[in-house]
Amino acid sequence: MEKNDKPLKIVAVSAGISQPSSTRLLADRLAEATRRRLAEERAVEVRVVELRDVATDIAKNIVTGFPGPALREVIEAVTEADGLIAATPIFTASYSGLFKSFFDVIENDALAGKPVLIGATGGTARHSLALEHALRPMFVYLRAIVMPTAVYAASEDWGGGGDAHTDLLAVRIDRAAGELADLLLHRAPAARPVETVVPFEEQLAALRP
């Protein structure tokens, strides 16, 4: 098969707070696994964004309604990416406020049709379904295409050998990355949104009783 020269752009967003953070570590692992799965067929550009770096810009955007230059650049990178990896720590039974605020300041339809791989971290595996109850519905609302495998990494996963009912973290990361890579390779290139104007006669005609 002829190799497409244009690199696929993957952006991984991490809402981890501490430095280094396990959320960032998970985002890196997911991004690297995706890159590896794609490497044979496509060049890949990976960028990892730490929301911590634009935390105050996000707060300012909430107040003013527009992003400052640094945040605007991050939003553009995310909305123009071919695939998105989104990872957050689970705080108070859900995604972190910083994570939600970032997606709040992006236009509602900017992620429509975008393949998204979701991941989360927490101190205990008891919070893992927050991925399914909080992150997945949020991205579904935004009409993103969310990968079937969502990856939760509890503290114990970084060292544990799993159990009879759970795959190892590395296996889950690889499965999720494979899903994202397959979708990116086999789907038609995402159409760039075009600013369309509905001609005025059509707008008027739509109102005629």
Q: Between 94 and 101, whose beta carbon lies closer to other proteins?
A: 101
How many Å is the Cα radius of gyration of the chain? Answer: 19
Cβ–Cβ under 8 Å, residues 33 and 173:
yes
**Interface with other proteins, residue 194, by CB under 8 A:** no
Give whichever of 1 and 200 is closer to other proteins, judged by the CB atom.
Answer: 200
- Considering the rule CB under 8 A, would residue 197 count as an interface residue with other proteins? yes
Binding residue (CB under 8 A) for other proteins from 32, 68, 175, 190: 68
| 33 vs 54: CA distance, rounded Å | 26
Q: Tell me the closest approach of the beta carbon of residue 60 to other proteins, in angstroms.
A: 4
What is the rounded CA–CA span in Å between residue 112 and residue 142? 6
Buried b (16+ CB within 10 A) or exposed e, 107-133: eeebbeebbbbbbbbbeebebbebbee
- The whole-angstrom separation of Cα 155 and Cα 139 is 25
Is 148 near other proteins (CB under 8 A)? Answer: no
3-state secondary structure of 91: strand
Q: Per-residue x/- marks for other proteins, 38-67, CB under 8 A? A: ---------------------xx-xxxxx-
Q: Least CB distance from residue 178 to other proteins, whole Å?
A: 39
Residue 199 binds other proteins, judged by CB under 8 A: yes
Indicate the residue among 5 and 201 with the shorter CB distance to other proteins.
Answer: 201
Tell me: does residue 69 bind other proteins (CB under 8 A): yes
Site string for other proteins, 97-136 (x = CB under 8 A): ----------------------------------------
DSSP class of 156: G
Among 141, 128, 63, 132, smallest CA distance to 101 is for 63
The window from 41-49, 96-104, 158-166, 199-207 that contacts other proteins (CB under 8 A) reads 199-207
Pick from 53, 150, 130: which is nearest to 89 by CA? 130
Structure tokens at 39: 């490497």
206 makes contact with other proteins (CB under 8 A): yes
106 within 8 A of 143, measured Cβ to Cβ: no
User: Rule CB under 8 A: is residue 70 a binding residue for other proteins?
Assistant: no
Contact positions vs other proteins (CB under 8 A): 59-60, 62-66, 68-69, 72, 195, 197-200, 203-204, 206-207, 209
